[in-house]
Amino acid sequence: MFTVNLRLLFYGLGLWIGGTVALRLFGERLLHPGRHVSEFLLLVISFVLMALLLRRLCTRLRIPRDQWPVSAISLALPTLLLDPFSSAFFPVVFPNIAPAAAGLFGGWMLCCCAGVMAGAVFRR
């Protein structure tokens, strides 16, 4: 049976809301399709930071190690459920970002979620 860690689900929802607002305000400064080096760095750095974030949250909330995978799903779930709509309606949700950046945005969100999942299963 799947159980959700509600604390991390709410952290994930907060991260999604905060990230969406930040991208609406400043996204044109961050997402530049066609600049391959900066795209690569954005994806790699985000992956690592999200893995570290999950580990930090689980440690601070004293979540047992065997519950980290469920915690990772809980943290990533808002992004996985809501960002498909952000991608589908990209020009409406992010009018300040070039529509050509929609693919980069989708890939970025997948890298972030992959980082969360990796943070739960990889040992130091």
pLDDT over 90 (residue 32):
no
Is 121 exposed, middle or buried, given 0-12, 13-18 or 19+ CB atoms closer than 10 A? exposed
User: In terms of residue numbers, what domain contains 104?
Assistant: 35-121
Question: What's the distance, CA 112 to chain centroid?
Answer: 4
46 assigned to some structural domain: yes
2 assigned to some structural domain: no
23 assigned to some structural domain: no
9 assigned to some structural domain: no
pLDDT, tens only, 42-72:
999 999 999 999 999 999 999 999 999 999 9
* The total number of structural domains that make up the chain: 1
54 assigned to some structural domain: yes
pLDDT grade for 1, boundaries at 50, 70 and 90: low
pLDDT, tens only, 5-19:
899 999 999 999 999
25 assigned to some structural domain: no
